[in-house]
Amino acid sequence: MIRRPPRSTLSSSSAASDVYKRQHYKELVCEHSGGPVVVDTMVNSKDEKLQEEARILLLNLGRGNPRFQVHVAETVLTLLGCGNAVAQRMGAQSTRQYMQTLPPGFDSVVSCMPMLKSGDLQVQYEASELIKALSKYAYLHEAIIENLVKVLDIPIPVKTCLLYTSPSPRDS
């Protein structure tokens, strides 16, 4: 077994070598469709610990990996429209974290809107937090408003509407 000295005693060239190796592994995973596989695992799993580890893996795949950062961030956006509430929440959280280094695109706005219609209050909350974060970008304002109007423009079936009728004189 090869013993390595503690990190504090490593030379700078050795540390640089470790960074290169980590980036190389990230690129290998991304080149072989690792991102979509991780997203698929999150969507199909009910184990929140597994989903959290998968979320961390996706964040790590995109960080310090300029060649694939945009691709991984776009892959994370697919979580927002899935049917798994935990995966949707984690997708929104990850998207907000990616926005710290990548400016969001219009697809971020469109992807988060269906989350507002969710029956899960935590999913709705994460969607609202993502919309707040997106609203900091002036170029997205029009798209946000346009898509919010579409969400609010939900036809109500006539059967469920209560029509107001004024009381007749004989009801008095």
pLDDT tens figures, 101-152: 888 888 899 999 999 999 999 999 999 999 999 999 999 999 999 999 998 8
Is the pLDDT at 78 greater than 60? The verdict is: yes
| Nearest one of 98, 56, 97 to 73, comparing CA atoms | 98
CA angle centred on 102, ends 101 and 106, rounded to 5°: 150
State the pLDDT at residue 90.
93
Q: Is 163 exposed, middle or buried (0-12, 13-18, 19+ CB in 10 A)?
A: exposed
Q: Which residue has the tokens 């935590």?
A: 122
CA–CA distance, 161 with 146 (Å, rounded to integer): 26
| Nearest one of 105, 112, 44, 53 to 78, comparing CA atoms | 112
- In terms of phi and psi (left: phi > 0; alpha: psi -120 to 50; beta: otherwise), the region of 64 is left
